[in-house]
Amino acid sequence: MAGAITLTVGHYQRHWVEISKRILGTVVVLAAAGGALLSLRDRPSTRSSIATLVSASSLQSRTVEPRLSGGFAWAPFQSATRGESTAHLTITSAIGTTLANVRGDSAPSARHTEAVAELLGGHPRNALSKLTIAAEHSDDPAVWSDLAVALHETALHEDAPELLADALSASDRALSLQPQFPEALFNRAIVLERLGLRDDAREAWERYLASDSTSEWAAEARVHLTALAPEEAFLDRLDHEYDHVRNDPAVATELVRRDPFRARGMSVMEVLGRWGKAALRHDDREADRHLSVARQLGRAVTLAEGDRMLEESVAVIDAAGGATRLLLASGHSDYRDGLKAFQENRPGDAEPLLRRAASAFEKAHSPMVLPARYFTANTVLEQGHHDDAERQIEALSATASEDFPGYRALLLQTLGACRVSQADWGAAITLLERGMSQFDRLSEIQNASEVRRLLAFVYDRIGDPATAWKYRLTALHGVGMRSNAGLEKGVASIADAAMLRHEWVPRRHS
C-alpha cells in the first residue's frame, strides 16, 4: 500500500522458484566437488544402532521438532532446555551405547548414526559437524534430511538464524534425491514456517499431507496448516464492517488495532478517495457515509498511533464549503487514482495525478499535501531521477510535522534507501534505524520489517552477517503474512546471504 518504499535494490529482484533452482544447483555442484556421490553402505552394526535408537525413543514426547529419518514414531513435541536433554533413562542408555559403538568410525553411515544420537541427546552442534561431512559424500536422502534437522536445531540452540537457509537447502537436496521422502517434506515445512514464510510454509504442509494423510505426523501437520490460514486483507475487512465502523467507535478501534499501518494509509487513500468521488458527482448521501467512516477511523488512528493525518484531513473537509470542498474532493479523487497507478507500476501516469492532488491540498490548506508530495517524489524516483527525488524527500523530511509520525518514518525509510543505493552505509544505518524505531513505536509491523530487510542488506555488505541475519529473520516474520513483492525480496535475501557466505553445503564444523 501507500507505505511501501519504492527504491528497488536490484540484487533482490528474483522469484522464489528461481532461487530454489539456484540453491539446488549450487548444492549439487559443491557436493560433487567434494567427491563423487557415494551410496551409503551401512554395516549391520550401524543399522542396528539406528534401530536401537528408534525402539528406545519415548512415545510420550520428543525434544527435536523436525523429523529424524529411520522410522521414529510420532510423539508430542516438547522443547528441551537449551543445551540439555529431557530424554528418559531408556533412550539415554541407547544413546550412550550407540555413541560407544560408532565413535571413531569414519564411514559416512557411522557419522550419520552418531549424529542422530547426538541430536537425540540434545547436542545439535556435534551432530552438525558429523552430518556435514557425511552429506558431502552421500546421495542418501536420509542424510540430507537429517542434516536439515541438525541445522535447524543448531540455529535455535545457538541463536544462529543464518543456518536456517542451509536447513532449507538441505531439505531441498533430500527431496531432489527422493521427492516424496516424508521426513524431508515435514522438515522443509518446519523450516519455512520458522522463517516466517507463511504462504510457502502452508504450501509445504499441503505437499506433506498429499503424501501422508493418516499418520499422527499428518495430524501435527494439520495443526500447523490451520495456524497458517491466510488472513483477510484489511480493505476486505473494512468493507465487511463499513457501516458498523460508521456507527460504532469500538469496531473502528478494533480494525486499527489489528492493522494500524493499513488503517492509516488505506483510510487516507481509499475511504477519503471514495468520499471525493461521491462529492464530485454530488451524491451527498454516499459522500456523507464515506466521510463518517473516515472520521471514526481517524479518531481511532490518533488514539492508537498518535498520527493525526486522517483526523485532521477530515476536519479540513468538515470546515470547508463551496468551491474549497469541491477542490478537496478533486484532490482526494486524484490522490486515490494516482496511488493506484503507482501501485500498478505506472509511475509516469501516477505523477501528474499526484502533483495535481498536492496542488489542490495546498490551496485548501489540507495536511494531505505531505503524503501527496511524498508519493510524487517516489514517482520521480521510480522514473530514474534519483537526485531530484532525494532533494524533494529531504525537503519534506525537514518540514514534516510531529503530528504525522507515520509519514515522518516513511521519509526516513526512503532517505535511508537512497543512501543504500549510494553505498553510504553509515548514513543508511542511521536513517533506517531511526525509521525502524518509529515504525516499531507505531506498531506498523510490515513497514518496520521492510526497514529491517534493508538493514540486513547493509550489514551483509559491511561484513557483519550475524547482525544481518537477526534483522533478516525478524523482517521475514513481518512481511511473510502473504506472498507479495516484499516477501519475494526477503526470500531472495536468504539465498543471497548464504551465497555470500559460500555455505550451501555448510562449512565443516570441528
DSSP 374-439: HHHHHHHHHTT-HHHHHHHHHHHHHH--TT-HHHHHHHHHHHHHHHHHTT-HHHHHHHHHHHHHHH
> Does the structure show a pLDDT above 70 at 88?
no
Per-residue pLDDT at 38: 33
Taking residues 406-427, what's their average pLDDT? 94
> Does the structure show a pLDDT above 70 at 344?
yes
| CB atoms inside a 10 Å sphere around CB 70 | 18
Structural contact between residues 420 and 6, judged by C-beta atoms closer than 8 angstroms: no
| CB atoms inside a 10 Å sphere around CB 319 | 11
Specify the CATH number for the domain of residue 158: 1.25.40.10
* Average pLDDT over the chain, rounded to an integer: 83
> Does the structure show a pLDDT above 60 at 361?
yes
Taking residues 316-321, what's their average pLDDT? 95
Structural contact between residues 414 and 393, judged by C-beta atoms closer than 8 angstroms: yes
Per-residue pLDDT at 477: 65
Taking residues 168-186, what's their average pLDDT? 96
For cell 550451501, what's the residue? 504
| Better-scored residue on pLDDT, 232 or 205 | 205
Answer yes or no: do 105 and 189 share one domain.
Answer: yes
**Angle in degrees, 0-180, between the axes of helices 141-157 and 108-120, rounded to the nearest 10:** 40
Answer yes or no: do 245 and 217 share one domain.
Answer: no
Could you say which of 165, 197, 227 is where a domain stops? 227
Nearest residue to 338 via CA among 297, 362, 371: 371
Residue 287 belongs to a domain: yes
Answer yes or no: do 221 and 260 share one domain.
Answer: no
| Better-scored residue on pLDDT, 186 or 33 | 186
CA 319 to chain centre: 43
The answer, as to whether pTM is greater than 0.85, is no
> Does the structure show a pLDDT above 60 at 260?
yes
Domain that holds residue 42: 10-19+38-227
Answer yes or no: do 235 and 158 share one domain.
Answer: no
Per-residue pLDDT at 197: 83
> Does the structure show a pLDDT above 90 at 338?
yes
Per-residue pLDDT at 199: 86
Phi, psi of 62 (to 5 degrees): -130, 150
Phi, psi of 160 (to 5 degrees): -120, 70
Answer yes or no: do 190 and 204 share one domain.
Answer: yes
> Does the structure show a pLDDT above 70 at 500?
no
> Does the structure show a pLDDT above 90 at 317?
yes
Residue 87: all three cell numbers together: 530424554
For cell 486483507, what's the residue? 233
Per-residue pLDDT at 479: 53
Q: How many Cα atoms within 13 Å fall on the side-chain side of residue 173?
A: 32
Percent of residues, the chain, with pLDDT higher than 70: 82
Taking residues 319-330, what's their average pLDDT? 96
**Strands, E assignment, 266-398:** none
- How many domains does the chain fold into? 2
Residue 180 belongs to a domain: yes
Structural contact between residues 425 and 458, judged by C-beta atoms closer than 8 angstroms: yes
Answer yes or no: do 298 and 170 share one domain.
Answer: no
Per-residue pLDDT at 90: 77
Per-residue pLDDT at 109: 85
> Does the structure show a pLDDT above 90 at 271?
yes
| Better-scored residue on pLDDT, 496 or 115 | 115
| CB atoms inside a 10 Å sphere around CB 432 | 26
How far apart are the C-alpha atoms of 287 and 267, rounded to whole Å?
Answer: 14
The phi-psi region of residue 138 (left if phi > 0; otherwise alpha if psi is between -120 and 50; otherwise beta) is beta
Taking residues 10-20, what's their average pLDDT? 35
